[in-house]
Amino acid sequence: MKALKISEAVVRRLPVYLRHLLELKQREVLTVSSQDLGQKLNLNPAQIRKDLAYFGDFGRKGIGYDVSYLIQQIRHILKLDQVIPVGLVGAGKLGHALCNYTVYLKDNMKIVAVFDAQESKINTEINNLKVQPMSDLIPTVREKQIRIGIITVPATEAQHVADQFVEAGVEAILNFAPVILRVPPNIRVHTADFTTDLFSLAYYLSDNGKEVPAE
Amino acid sequence: MKALKISEAVVRRLPVYLRHLLELKQREVLTVSSQDLGQKLNLNPAQIRKDLAYFGDFGRKGIGYDVSYLIQQIRHILKLDQVIPVGLVGAGKLGHALCNYTVYLKDNMKIVAVFDAQESKINTEINNLKVQPMSDLIPTVREKQIRIGIITVPATEAQHVADQFVEAGVEAILNFAPVILRVPPNIRVHTADFTTDLFSLAYYLSDNGKEVPAE
DNA sequence: TAGATTGTTAATCGATTAACAATC
DNA sequence: TAGATTGTTAATCGATTAACAATC
């Protein structure tokens, strides 16, 4: 239990641990070693032990980690032992898809409001939520105490939406638009940009694909 | 032009550079310095110069980088100077959303086939493509020379789909399911798992949120 | 020429991994 | 007790940044 600064790499692995632990729990596995976890998650066991040890002594020498206890601890570390209200802007296909995931996120995060700029989308229903106009954003974020904003609008709109989220007082933003957002330093932004993933994949393709016909 | 191994971190920045360069080009900016780029992308200029220098001497001292030329070079490095055929499994909301992005990816990647296991989805149209049954996957991947597979199915199905993609001969997989896939070492997998992004964001929320009422 | 900016080397910083005493 | 596995220190590895000669 030190007061070290935890690197982002560590923080990003915690949800991966959590997810696998939940699966183990469902399979009624009671205990797991860093060895086992590493095997499943393609990670070095020492790294897993070190990651967890930043936050406490969760394991037992000679035994491993109690699955339920570790779940509880990671939930606490990630602040997922409370339900976090989330807002989403952009009621397109992607926004829709994310709303459906709410089921999966259940006890951890809940999308409590959806906004869109397009007239035609407003008042349509997504997952029991009425899509609201952009003018509702700031008051609704405040009223519903929304802490995380999700942006699934076109790249050209994303900065504007981010500005409004910031003004309304969200603490963090998950941005799906392929754009680097400018926000104050106290706001955390993660970018979930699948074009980056996809384009970087191309780099690893073999060279001898169907070449451009030799000119 | 060395034969060094390029780290994944470098490769992942290339699409980010490319994207911003395309925007500059559209704004008819002719030349850009590592300084400018760094500012816009929140990166250290030295890092940008180093990244690019792995692949060649693209800049001019005292001037910077020619926007069009650098675009062309990065495209080549990423193998995006050819159209790469992509297949997608999972015609849900997320799959739909990705298909629509094809417009954005235009000259680089093209989703040429969509598959789904659900009877009701088959033969529906997405972006001018008829959704095909899973039994078509292997023959179609081969026939259309699909090189990258995208997986947007539930976590429980993802490994099975990956296995089929691998058997059919794709070289890389972009996986949206929250699961670690097992594939042979010659297949590249990127995981675009937004639950990880979202959960790790929660870590950075302030502690003084609406606490669980003190027991 | 003077100012700007690259490509690259050297210095720094940080993250991963190996190793092992402690102990269940 | 013997075997297993943690938590942690030390060693390694790799990535980022600073600095600067070269040069447009």
Predicted local confidence at residue B2, as pLDDT: 40
Residue with tokens 């691998």: B166
Closest partner residue to A188 among B78, B108, B204, by Cβ?
A: B204
Which residue is closest to B145 within chain A, CA to CA?
Answer: A210
**A16, B61, B101 from B87: Cα distances, Å:** 26, 43, 14
Q: Which tops the pLDDT comparison, A135 or B206?
A: A135
Predicted local confidence at residue B127, as pLDDT: 87
Is A171 within 8 Å of B41 when comparing Cβ atoms? no
Q: What is the pLDDT along chain A (215 residues), one digit of tens a residue?
A: 345 689 999 999 999 999 999 999 999 999 999 999 999 999 999 999 999 999 999 999 999 999 999 999 999 999 999 999 999 999 999 999 999 876 566 678 999 999 999 999 999 999 889 999 999 999 999 999 999 999 999 999 999 999 999 999 999 999 999 999 999 999 999 999 899 999 999 999 998 654 444 32
Which run of H or E residues covers position A191? strand A188-191
Q: Say if CB A16 and CB B200 are below 8 A apart.
A: no
Which residue is closest to A145 within chain B, CA to CA?
Answer: B210
Predicted local confidence at residue A15, as pLDDT: 96
Q: Which nucleotide is nearest to B10 (CA to C1')?
A: D15
Q: Collect all residues of chain A within an 8 Å Cβ-Cβ radius of residue B16.
A: 180, 196
Q: Collect all residues of chain A within an 8 Å Cβ-Cβ radius of residue B204.
A: 11, 171-172, 188
Instruction: Give the number of other Cβ atoms within 10 Å of residue B145's Cβ.
Output: 13
Which residue is closest to A105 within chain B, CA to CA?
Answer: B195
Tell if the pTM clears 0.95, that is, is over it.
no
Range A168-201 burial, b when 16+ CB lie within 10 A, else e: bebbbbbbbbbbbbebeeebbbbbbbbbbbbbbb
Of the candidates B122, B194, B130, the residue with the CA atom closest to the CA atom of residue A100: B194
pLDDT(B120) > 60: yes
Residue A110 DSSP SS3: strand
CA–CA gap between residue A161 and residue A40 (Å, rounded): 39
Return the nearest residue to D3, CA–C1': A62
Residue with tokens 């007082």: A169
Which residues neighbour B213 within 8 Å (Cβ) at sequence distance 6 or greater?
Answer: none
Which residues neighbour B47 within 8 Å (Cβ) at sequence distance 6 or greater?
Answer: B13, B38
Closest partner residue to B93 among A14, A20, A100, by Cβ?
A: A100
Order across the sheet with A148-151: list the strands: A125-126, A129-133, A109-116, A84-89, A148-151, A172-175, A188-191
Residue with tokens 């609704």: A140
Q: Collect all residues of chain A within an 8 Å Cβ-Cβ radius of residue B198.
A: 86, 105, 109, 148, 150, 174, 190
Predicted local confidence at residue A103, as pLDDT: 57
pLDDT(B11) > 70: yes
Predicted local confidence at residue A108, as pLDDT: 85
Is B41 within 8 Å of A180 when comparing Cβ atoms? yes
Under the banding of pLDDT at 50, 70 and 90, the label for residue B5 is confident
Under the banding of pLDDT at 50, 70 and 90, the label for residue B108 is confident
> What average pLDDT is seen over chain B?
92
Mean pLDDT of B145-163: 97
Annotated binding-site residue? A94: yes
Q: Say if CB B82 and CB B88 are below 8 A apart.
A: no
Of the candidates A61, A207, A22, the residue with the CA atom closest to the CA atom of residue B179: A22
pLDDT(B181) > 60: yes
Residue B114 DSSP SS3: strand
Closest partner residue to B202 among A78, A97, A200, by Cβ?
A: A78
Under the banding of pLDDT at 50, 70 and 90, the label for residue B44 is very high
Instruction: Give the number of other Cβ atoms within 10 Å of residue B99's Cβ.
Output: 21
CA–CA gap between residue A86 and residue A79 (Å, rounded): 14
B4 touches strand D (CB under 7 A): no
